Amino acid sequence: MTYGQRLEVGAAYVPLPPHIRYKFLGLRTGVQFDNSTRNRPSSFCARYLFGIWGSADSRSAYLTALAEKWKHAQNAGLSYITDGDPNVSSSLPISLEEEPRRANASFVILARNGELKEVIESLKQIEDRFNRKYHYPYVFLNEQPFTNEFKRWTQEVISSKAHYGVIPPDHWYQPGHIDEARAAMMRQTLVDDDVIYGGSVSYRNMCRFNSGFFYRHPLMQQFRYYWRVEPGVKFFCDIETDPFLYMQDHNKTYGFTISLYEYERTIPSLWVVTKEFMRRHPEYLPEDNALSFISDDQGETYNLCHFWSNFEIADMDLWRSEAYTKYFEFLDSVGGFYYERWGDAPVHSIGAALFSRKDQIHFFREIGYRHDPFQHCPQGDHHRNGKCWCEEKDNFDYDGYSCTYRYDRLFT
């Protein structure tokens, strides 16, 4: 017998058969015990809670029978039932409700100990707006061990389990095949050109890790879907529908809220390398993919559009697929993460567009989100239903630097 759900009595939980969840709302009279008979419980609540009778199968049969009894009681207009035991003098008002269905999913947060304040701000918002009802776990990743202070504060804010992981060095640091003299020269060129993060090696480490390694971390292996959350972001609206289940039930591979153009100076050769990969591996490109989102001439050039990956909800089977694995390995082999400044946003966006069907990429219009300096504010019914606190007019969706209209054109 598989037990996938819980009996809730106060703060105590025990497993229940997967098709039923019993929530005991209270006792008409107290639960009594007979100390002379090994604390024999005098109610079915305590009898099950303490687990001192019968096999797993007999407990399941007993609880299933109680479920049927409760249904008959409800039909008769009663608010309580007894278990039929002549030694029981109390009766229990209970309700039956289905355990919320959840996907195999987690939040993932890449953060340093020094970003604790910003992490707490993001956690508080995602908990208040969504996760206090669903209790999806969190995976925190860092190239250094998290401090006890970081763990204590984050665990106080969240309503679910937290996992804290250290990134393996070969997933984070500049790989050995990179010519450091050449990389240093190219970094200085970008610094001279005032390119943001142009001289930063740690930023490049982060982009490479997010592009090709976070989903390989041992803590992520147990999950299929993830929601990336950054320190210091804002969520404007109540999220009543589970985005993970939406992804799962509708066979979506990638979800976004903001799309925009990449800074071309950071990726001068990315599309050249991508085209060569497509030439070598046309078998990886499905029919009706989203190539037209990232190219206006059937793949001859890259139009620089990408999904802003600081927010993404995605199926890690996409990144773990043979197509994307070989694509990332091909990119990594030429060194563009370090000789240029390839970001994970264009890499993920190109991967999603090429290796998914266009109908598998989803715009979460109802999720209000801000990562400075851009934000998506839901419009119309989405704004009202979500009780959003952003102003509808303060919305990046169709600004001149946004690519959302290109996404819309995929379906017209």
Active-site positions read 312
What H or E segment, with its residue span, contains residue 126? helix 116-126
Q: SS3 of 109, please?
A: strand
What is the CA angle 267-268-273, rounded to 5? 85
- The Cα–Cα gap between 53 and 125 comes to 44
- The Cα–Cα gap between 342 and 338 comes to 8
| C-alpha neighbours within 13 Å on the C-beta side of residue 405 | 7
- The Cα–Cα gap between 107 and 85 comes to 46
- Chain length of the chain: 412
Q: In what order do the strands lie in the sheet with 12-16?
A: 12-16, 5-9, 22-24, 94-96
What is the per-residue burial (b if ≥16 Cβ within 10 Å, else e) of 50-64? beeeeeeeebbebbe
- List, in sequence order, every residue forming a beta bridge with 22; answer none if it has no partner: 96
- The Cα–Cα gap between 61 and 63 comes to 6
- CB-count burial class (<10 Å; 0-12, 13-18, 19+) for 75: exposed
Say if residues 187 and 164 touch (Cβ distance below 8 Å).
Answer: no
- The Cα–Cα gap between 143 and 168 comes to 7
